Structure 1
Amino acid sequence: MKGEVHSHFEESVRPYIDLIDNLRSVGIQKDVPLPHIAVIGDQSSGKSSVLEAISGVALPRGSGIVTRCPLELRLKKVTVGVSWKAVLSYGDKKTEFVDSSLVGNYIEAAQNELAGKGVGICDELITLEVMSPDVCDVTLIDLPGIARVPVKGQPEDIGIQIKSLITKFIQMPETINMVVVPCNTDIATTEALKMAQEVDPEGKRTIAILTKPDLIDKGTERNILDIVHNKVIPLRKGYIMVKCRGQQQINENISLEEAAQMERDFFQNHDHFRCLLSEEKATVKYLASKLTQHLVDHIKKSLPQLNEQIKKQQCDLRNELKECEAGPPQDPKGAKKFLIEILTSFNDQIKSLSLGELIIKRNLFLQLRAKYKEWNDHLNDTKKTFNDLTEEKIAHKEEYRGRELPGFSNYKIFEDVLQKHVATLQKPAIDLLDTIKGIIIEQFTDVVNQCFQKYPVLLDITMDKIYNLQSNQQEKAEQRISEQFEMENMVYTQDPIHLNALNKITTEEMFLDTKDTFSEEQFPVFERKCTYSEMLQAYYEIVVQRMADQLPMMISLFMLKQTAHLLSTDMFSLLDGADVSELLSETSDVSIRRRDLQARLDRLRIAQEKVSHFI
């Protein structure tokens, strides 16, 4: 009858645990969190002893940090064909062995390889699968013990590193947190329980294991019982007390079977704790049974949500893969058609950018206007220096006097003052051209990256075209700017324009009697009424207005509009005799990403098939 009960229990439990183990084996935990039991405890809490008693294998022991990588213990109860067998795996490595005494050495070697020799930690998972008739069906993940003070060789932030690693596991709703706490410490100050409470404040998914009951002070037994009976810090999954082998018993070669009997004897003979046996709140045997049941219940509860998460991940990955698969066809005709399509799309975007209709990162025309405004502000600032220079020149007019009689104007002075001052604007104009070139190249580069990011050969060729075109256009623009300044040496404007400028700068005090302004019929009058300085200033105002508009229009024409047109034409020349397959060769990153997406999709498909059988 007992065998039938166990067989029924195993049939109802094992499939669910196998399901999660199989899902973890295919790597599905990289995509969605899986239900599991995470074991945490302060250093020297007895965590290793508890796991050793449950698994029946001697795990690494010692002072300081013993568990330096997360250790997944998959325990499988087998009744036929195997007396004891284990498989240790991490990364791409897998080792099978049948000698339980080798477990500790294998785990330590794996930790040294992953976390380095010494006292460092690593979040890479080591899996130990144990098959034996003497273990229960359960999977546990052992996490590093919480360190408070770093020891020799440990980084100063080792405590923070360990807590971060533990939090990564215990914060997920799919995790049952198994907290190991010594009976001879104040449970309220235990760091492990505090961490569990932070991520599970209502205690819904936390179970506490009280160890070392033989080390408590006499008279504190009632306090310990209050804790076990959920009267101090309530936990939905409760408390279980265990007494595992101590170091002395290990030294005396007391087996786990003997230790289990000694544990039962301890509770049966204890004046205060014997009641815990009948309440099923004591011994490793009861603990193993409870953990199995808690895990299976948790798995059953999590399966619908897990199934939905897998479906959502599948949908997202299919969309990502679809984008990745939008690559070039393999046949030459289809590849050329594809190349024409992406070149056309690129040219359309370049045209839209040049017209101000496309904004990728920053608005191109906002940037250009800001730089052109700075140019206009600079021109306006030069008016003052020009006015000051003009007054100085006029003050020394006698030095520039020619054959004219006193009272007559020397037009050569007028030209000389204007030409020299306008010439100082040429370098800032070239600097403006360089700045605009940089902005436009940056914007063109953004379009190139957006259109050809997958195709490095095509991307490089296009960027070379852009740089070459911009260099050629810059030379043309510089030539036109130079010609513009040569034209300014001619000192010319329409008479009405100059008169209008004079009217704007002439003070009203000069015309108090008539309030008149100058007209073309008054040429002889304004020479007598206007100072030489005012006529120079009026003309320079016209120069500033011309430069403020003509230079930006000229630069935009050559560097943006013409470059966009030339680039669009030049891009289609790639179709003439080019190796289309080379132009459309993809980056290795795209290929790797496509393979990664497909691999993730494949394991999600396997997982979805497995989970759907249980829902």
Structure 2
Amino acid sequence: MSSSGFSSQSDDEDSDSSQKGSHESQKMSGEVHSHLEESIRPYIDLIDTLRSVGIHKDLALPTIVVIGDQSSGKSSVLEALSGVALPRGSGIVTRCPLELRLKKVPAVSWKAVITYSKKTDESVNLFAGPIKTSKLAYGKVAQSTHNEKKIEFTDPSLVEEHVAAAQNELAGKGVGICDELITLEIMSPDVCDLTLIDLPGIARVPVEGQPEDIGKQIKRLIMKYIKKLETINLVVVPCNTDIATTEALKMAQEVDPEGKRTLAILTKPDLVDKGTEKSILAIVHNKVIPLSKGYIMVKCRGQQQINEAVPLEEAAQMERDFFQSHDHYRCLLKDDKVTIKCLAIKLTQELVEHIKSSLPQLQEHIRNQLWNVKKALKGCEAGPPEDPKGAKEFLIETLNGFNEKIKSLLSGAPKNGNSLISQMRVEFRKWNDYLNSTKPSFNNSKELSENYRGRELPGFSNFIIFEKILQDRVAKLKDQAIDLLNVIRDIIIKQFTDVVSESFQNYNVLQNITKDKISYIQLNQQEKAEQRISEQFKMENWIFTQDPIFLKVLSEITNQTFSEKELPVFDKQCKYSQMLEAYYEIVVQRLANQLPLMITFYMLQETARLLSTDIMKLLEKSDVRELLSEASDVSRRRKDLRERLTRLSSATNTINNFLND
């Protein structure tokens, strides 16, 4: 008899016909499940293998994640699926993500392997001592690379203690949680082929010893898994609670509002108040909160059955008897919407279909990441030669490469989708818009005349008034011009610094020297630009423009035609404000062009020229090796890239072999 109840004999029915029907139904179901086993195991093995090589660190894998509020019956469901007892108790029992791999292996005795990465950070107060429980001594502990701990054992009764010990080592003894994954692989002829990940139950109120934000920590961990499009969310909901207020289902709806990735398990149907059974049936029939993957109801061992040590196989038979004899829920049996067995088959089918549909995209993601890692690793490993001559040539090549990138910036070539020149143009356009916004200010000539009136009697014009008004107006533009200079300076420094980081990413000394040069040159160039801007505004105090230019603008403003021949009667025919407006328009056009040209010349062109010349002077230094000394984190980055390359290459080979078989 199966430990999980998947191979149990038919129930005792009240009539021979019922018993015969049950036998035939179970035989047919067994044949279907046997056929499924042959076709589904390779797909589940594929994802298990990919996760084993660590590819989940680089991208999301198709998986089923189990979530639920505390005391929702989550542990009981997992026990019924796996056939083994998992950690139980009040409060948070699952304190680390637990990947449960169930493998149906015919003609093999029960065996389990628990694997997790050991914590090595001494600053974290974790339990890291030897396992004290004498029973655990029967487990074979194998220490693998990368601080991975693997324990093999053949006694099902040790599962709970091994999982608890792993959680204590990763999350510390007590009530804390940890993101580190624990993998429990169970191989037996009596389990279904399935892999899923169990997450901590959602806590509403912290208990003694828990941090105040334990609820937020758990939700953050859950959200990390369920928000991924590659994840099927398996939500455990007790029948005796209001499904609409269940926190786990709320979280699932938040990331999957259409319910396409969500399957709900209804537990504890025996605790439903009499008279509310029809409302439960409405939920199962997808009429309350619709989910495309639907609902399945199960009845696992209750606390009394656990206390009485009722075997899981007997509990599975009792579950079927409960539904068979229930007036309201009996109808769900024929629809395969009840029992752990139906749940196991449903989950397996859903997972395999999900893997099949995700495989092309998964393969493409791995291919793209592999290409990027190879490219990054190539740049990381292309270090300088050891001999002085080779090092000098390498330095020349590196510095030339830097100068080429700087020239590329000046040419307007896009960098990260946005060129330096285009960024500067945006700011210059803002400067132009600002200048234009200051123009509508000369429309009240009477007020202007009174404010600026000199000794003249009414009817006389005074050029000093004209000059003073314009000088005051133009002077107000200077602060904004300096602001423009500062903004452009920041853009240029950012772009140049990015080129430094890109060109000398492995060489801190070169980076620091070049960044210092950029700062020094920019500081000097900014002083020159500020001086030039100040001179420009001093020149603007001298009110001047060519007569034809002034008359042309004035004609455009007044819609009248003026020429130099009409100058003797000019002052009588034109309004004072229009003359001011005409000249100010000329000033705006002059400054709109002149300042961007000035700033571009000093801050960009001259900076690039001086920097390119100055950077090549580094070749005159004798300490080439010091200039090319690698940054301290380069080795760590190289190690990380190599590990990623190994994982991605292994994943590529695994998928290729799978597709070619």
How would you bin the TM-score normalised by the shorter chain?
0.5 to 0.7
Q: Counterparts of 2:516 and 2:366 in 1: how far apart (Å)?
A: 45
Q: Kindly state the Cα deviation for residue 121 of structure 1 after the two structures are TM-superposed.
A: 1.6
Distance change (3 Å), C-alpha of 1:339 and 1:173: same
Q: Partner residue of 2:203?
A: 147
Partner amino acid for 1:608?
Answer: T
Contact conserved, 1:90 with 1:127, CA < 8 A, in 2?
A: no
Separation in 2, partners of 1:568, 1:309: 40
In structure 2, relative to structure 1, the CA distance for the partners of 1:271 and 1:578 (3 Å cut) is same
Q: Are 1:19 and 1:611, in contact at CA under 8 Å, matched by a contact in 2?
A: yes
Task: Give matches, 1:274-293, under 5 Å.
Answer: 274-293=330-349
Which is worse superposed, 14-23 or 269-278? 269-278
Percent identical across equivalent pairs? 70
Match of 2:70 among 43, 64, 70: 43
Shift of 1:575: 5.1
Question: 1:259 Cα deviation (Å)?
Answer: 1.1
Kindly report which structure 2 residues correspond to 1:227-266, keeping only aligned pairs within 5 A, or say none.
Answer: 227-266=283-322
- The aligned counterpart of 2:578 is none
Look up the match of 1:542: none
Q: Specify the alignment match of 1:84 in structure 2.
A: 111
Shift in Å at residue 17 of structure 1?
0.2
Shift of 1:59: 0.8
Q: Residue 214 of structure 1 corresponds to which residue in structure 2?
A: 270
> Could you tell me how far apart the structure 1 residues matched to 2:262 and 2:252 are?
7
The partner residue of 1:101 within 121, 137, 157 is 157
Alpha-carbon distance between aligned partners in 1 of 2:265 and 2:406, rounded to the nearest angstrom = 67
1:583–1:71 Cα change, 3 Å = same
Task: Confirm whether residue 14 of structure 1 aligns to residue 41 of structure 2.
Answer: yes
In structure 1, the gaps of 5 or more residues are 367-434, 474-499, 501-556
- What is the deviation of 1:590? 2.2
Any conservation in 2 of the 1:351–1:565 contact (CA below 8 Å)? no
Map of 2:358 onto structure 1: 302
Of 179, 186, 194, 1:123 maps to 179
Partners of 1:457 and 1:572 lie apart in 2 by 15
TM-score by length of 2: 0.62
* Alpha-carbon distance in 2 for matches of 1:184, 1:325: 61
Separation in 2, partners of 1:47, 1:83: 23
Residues 246 and 577 of structure 1, relative CA distance in 2, 3 Å threshold = same
Q: How far apart are 1:56 and its partner, in Å? A: 1.2
Q: 2:507 aligns with which of 441, 450, 455?
A: 455
Give distance in 1, aligned partners of 2:178 and 2:384.
42
Which residue, out of 66, 74, 77, partners 2:93? Answer: 66
| 1:247 Cα deviation after fit | 1.6
Aligned counterpart, 1:524? none
Which is worse superposed, 330-339 or 19-28? Answer: 330-339
Q: Name the residue aligned to 1:518.
A: none
Task: Tell me, in whole angstroms, the C-alpha distance in 1 between the residues paired with 2:498 and 2:40.
Answer: 57
- State the secondary structure of the residue aligned to 2:185: strand
Displacement after TM superposition at 1:295 (Å)? 0.6
Aligned-partner residue type, residue 261 of structure 2 = R
Q: Deviations over 1:119-157 (max 9, x none)?
A: 222221111111111111100110111111222222222
User: What is the alpha-carbon root mean square deviation over aligned residues?
Assistant: 4.1
Deviation, 1:569, is: 8.1
| Larger displacement relative to structure 2 (306-315 or 582-591) | 582-591
> Matched residues in 2 for 1:197 and 1:467: separation?
52
Report the counterpart of residue 203 of structure 1 in structure 2.
Answer: 259
Structure 2 equivalent of residue 167 of structure 1: 223
Could you say which residue in structure 2 is the equivalent of 1:588?
A: 632
In the alignment, the residues of structure 2 paired with residue 145 and residue 212 of structure 1 have an alpha-carbon distance, to the nearest angstrom, of 16
* Secondary structure at the counterpart of residue 48 of structure 1: helix
**Cα gap change, 1:564/1:250 in structure 2, threshold over 3 Å: closer, same or farther?**
closer
Report if aligned partners of 1:69, 1:144 keep a CA contact under 8 Å in 2.
Answer: yes
User: Could you tell me which amino acid in structure 2 is paired with residue 69 of structure 1?
Assistant: C
Structure 2: distance between partners of 1:448 and 1:103:
54
- One-letter amino acid of the counterpart of residue 47, structure 1: K
Larger deviation, residues 103-112 vs 126-135: 103-112
Deviation, 1:7, is 4.5
Cα distance in structure 2, aligned partners of 1:77 and 1:253: 25
> Which amino acid in the other structure matches residue 606 of structure 1?
S
Counterparts of 1:36 and 1:161, CA distance in 2:
22
Give 2:653's aligned residue. Answer: 609
Could you tell me how far apart the structure 2 residues matched to 1:171 and 1:133 are? Answer: 34
Report the AA paired with residue 85 of structure 1: A
SS of alignment partner, residue 272 of structure 1: coil
Cα distance change on mapping 1:600 and 1:463 into 2, 3 Å? closer
SS at match of 2:383: coil
**Preserved contact between residue 112 and residue 184 of structure 2 (Cα < 8 Å):** no
1:310 positional shift: 1.5
In structure 2, the partner of 1:27 is: 54
Counterpart CA distance in 1 for 2:213 and 2:384 is 50
Q: Please tell me whether the aligned partners of residues 70 and 202 of structure 2 are also in contact (alpha carbons under 8 angstroms).
A: yes
Amino acid at match of 2:632: S
Paired residues for 1:529-544 under 5 Å: none
Alpha-carbon contact 2:46-2:658 (below 8 Å) kept: no
The number of equivalent residue pairs is 467
Deviation at 1:345, TM superposition (A): 5.3
TM-superposed CA distance for 1:308, in Å, is: 1.6
Alignment correspondent of 1:316: 372
Contact 1:84/1:133, CA 8 A, preserved across alignment: no
Aligned mates of 2:614, 2:625 — CA distance in 1 = 19
Query: Could you tell me which amino acid in structure 1 is paired with residue 111 of structure 2?
Result: W
DSSP-derived class of the 1:152 partner: coil
- How far apart, CA to CA, are the structure 2 residues paired with 1:148 and 1:131? 36
The verdict on how the C-alpha distance between 1:48 and 1:586 changes in structure 2, with shifts beyond 3 A counting, is: same
2:252 partner letter = A
Cα distance in structure 1, aligned partners of 2:409 and 2:361: 46
Query: Residue 588 of structure 1: SS of its match in structure 2?
Result: coil
* 2:644 partner letter: R
258 and 338 in structure 1: CA distance in 2 versus 1, 3 angstrom threshold: same
Cα distance in 2, alignment partners of residues 32 and 141 from structure 1 = 16
Deviations 1:358-386 (A, max 9, x none): 979x99xx9xxxxxxxxxxxxxxxxxxxx
Matched residues in 2 for 1:38 and 1:349: separation?
47
Q: Distance between the aligned counterparts of 2:612 and 2:291, measured in 1?
A: 70
TM-score of the aligned structures, taking structure 1 as reference length:
0.66
Name the stretch that deviates more: 152-161 or 214-223: 152-161
Shift in CA distance, 114/582, structure 1 to aligned 2, threshold 3 Å: same
Matched, 1:185 2:241: yes
- The question of 1:599 aligning with 2:648 is answered no
Conservation of the 8 A alpha-carbon contact between 2:110 and 2:156: no
The CA distance in 2 between the partners of 1:88 and 1:245, in whole Å, is: 28
Question: In the TM superposition, what is the alpha-carbon distance from 1:14 to its structure 2 partner?
Answer: 0.3
Contact 1:38/1:178 (CA < 8 Å) preserved in 2?
yes
Distance 1:453 1:239, change over 3 A: closer
Give 1:162 shift.
1.4
- Judged with a 3 Å threshold, the aligned counterparts in structure 2 of structure 1 residues 51 and 561 are, in CA distance, closer, same or farther, namely closer
Shift of 1:89: 2.6
Moved more, 566-575 or 326-335: 566-575
- Please give the secondary structure, in 2, of the residue aligned with 1:278: coil
| Greater mean alpha carbon deviation, residues 135-144 or residues 4-13 | 4-13
Q: For 1:561 and 1:180, how far apart are their aligned partners in 2? A: 65
**Offset of residue 51 of structure 1:** 0.5
Q: C-alpha displacement at 1:576, in angstroms?
A: 6.5
Q: How does 1:476-555 map to 2 (within 5 A)?
A: none
1:461–1:10 CA distance, 2 compared to 1 (3 A): same
Query: Distance between the aligned counterparts of 1:580 and 1:280, measured in 2?
Result: 75
The alignment partner of 2:90 has SS state of coil
